[in-house]
Chain A
C-alpha cells in the first residue's frame, strides 16, 4: 500500500478496511487508518462488519458443518433482556449503566463508573497498617485496569466517615469522599482502580464526618509490576 489513508475517499479507494482486517497494512498505514476510522462512521462500520465476517467465519468454520446454531431461550424484557442480546453490548451496557450508578461505600469515582461493568474477577486485597506501626505497606500492581481493595481498621468510627487519598507529602487530594462507617468489628474498605494509583507513596486518611477527628492515617506504596 502506497499512500496515505487519512480521509474517507482515500480509504475507500485503497480498500483500506479490507486490507486492515487482512493484516496487509504497514504499521504507519495501520495507525493512519485506525485514527481515521475512529472518527469516520462509514469506515468504522466497514471495519466492524468485516471483523464480524472474519471473526465469525473463524468461529463458524471451526464448527462441524451439521451443528445448528443453538437457540437461546427468549430473553426477558427490560434491561437484562437487552443485556442478553449480545455479550459486547451487554458488557458495554453494564459499563455504561455503572457510569451512572451512585455507588456509596466504595465511593471512588472510577469505581462508580465501572461498577458492574467489568467481568467477575478476583481482586487483590491489602490490609493497611496505621502510620504509627512502621513502614508503609508495599503494594504491587500487576495489571493496568486492575482493582485493589484496601482494608483499614478504624476503631471508634460511627455514623459516616470521610476518607481522603493523597500522594504522600502532597496537599492535593486524589479522592475526597464520604462513606458509612464500617459496622462494629468490620474493617473500612475502599476499592480503587489501579489507574488512579501510579507508582509512588500514598496516604489514606479516615476522619469522622461529624467532628473531623482523625480516625486513622495509613501509608502505602504502590510499585509497578511487583517490582
Chain B
C-alpha cells in the first residue's frame, strides 16, 4: 500500500489552486474529518457543515492568510483548524440551547454516514469479510456496532476479554486490506477513479 506525505511542493500547488492537488487534499481529509467529527457531533447536517467549514478555512488561510509554516505538518494544521471549528460551534450551540427549550432531539449520525465511508467495491469486500467470520465474531460486531450494547457486558456474555475485540478488529483490518488488494490486482481501474488518488498523489 502506498502512503502519502505532504511537502512544500504539495502545499504550494494547493495554495495556487492546482485542481489535482485540491481533489487529492479534499479526498484525503474528507473521511478523516468525518471520522473525527462523528465522535463529537449529533447530526449529519452538523457533520457536513463543519467539514465544509474546515476546508474553507484551511484554503482561505493558505491563500489569503498566514498559511502553514511547515508543509509536512499540513495534517496537524487541518486538525487544529477542525478543533477550532468544533469548539466555536459547540460554544454557539451551548449558548443557543440556554435559550431554546425546543432543541431538536439528537439524531443518529450513523444514518447514511456508512454509505459515505463504504464504497460499493469496499462494501462487497466487507460482505466477504463478514461472511468469513466466525459466528461469534459476527455476533460481537453486531452487538457492539449495530446494537451499541455495553462492551464489557457483551464480552462477558461471549466469554472474551476486551483485548479480544481489539485483536478482532486488527485481524479484520488486515484481512480487509488483503481482499481489497486481491481485487485491485485483478482489475484495471479507470484513471479517473479518485480512490486511487487518495493514496497515490
Contacts and interface: CB of A to CB of B under 8 A. Distances in A.
B126 A56 contact: yes
Given A53-B126, A144-B49, A145-B52, A38 B79 contact: yes
Interface string B156-189: 0000001001100110110011000000000000
A160 interface: no
Interface in B131-157: 138, 141-142, 144-146, 151
A58 B114 contact: yes
Interface string A74-96: 00011101100111110111011
B74 to A, nearest CB: 8
A169 interface: no
Interface in A13-54: 15, 17-19, 21-24, 30, 34-35, 37-42, 44-54
A100 B31 contact: no
A46 B17 CA distance: 29
A195 B195 contact: no
Interface residues of B, number: 87
Binding site secondary structure of chain A: helix
Binding site secondary structure of chain B: helix
Interface residues of A, number: 73
A92 B33 CA distance: 12
Most-contacted residue by chain A among B22, B166, B169 (CB, 10 A): B169
Interface of A: 15, 17-19, 21-24, 30, 34-35, 37-42, 44-62, 69, 72, 77-79, 81-82, 85-89, 91-93, 95-97, 99-100, 109-110, 113-114, 117-119, 143-146, 193, 195, 224-227
The list of the 8 closest CB pairs from A to B, nearest first, reads A145-B49, A39-B75, A41-B3, A225-B96, A38-B79, A38-B75, A86-B119, A59-B114
28 contacts: A15-B166, A22-B165, A30-B39, A38-B75, A41-B5, A45-B3, A51-B31, A56-B122, A57-B141, A58-B110, A61-B130, A61-B146, A69-B120, A86-B119, A86-B195, A88-B34, A92-B26, A96-B26, A99-B19, A99-B26, A110-B60, A113-B55, A114-B56, A143-B46, A145-B50, A145-B52, A195-B53, A227-B95
Interface of B: 1, 3-5, 17, 19, 22-23, 25-32, 34-36, 39, 45-46, 48-50, 52-53, 55-57, 59-60, 64, 72-76, 78-80, 85, 88-89, 92, 95-96, 99, 110, 113-120, 122-124, 126-127, 129-130, 138, 141-142, 144-146, 151, 162, 165-166, 169-170, 172-173, 176-177, 190, 192-195, 198-199
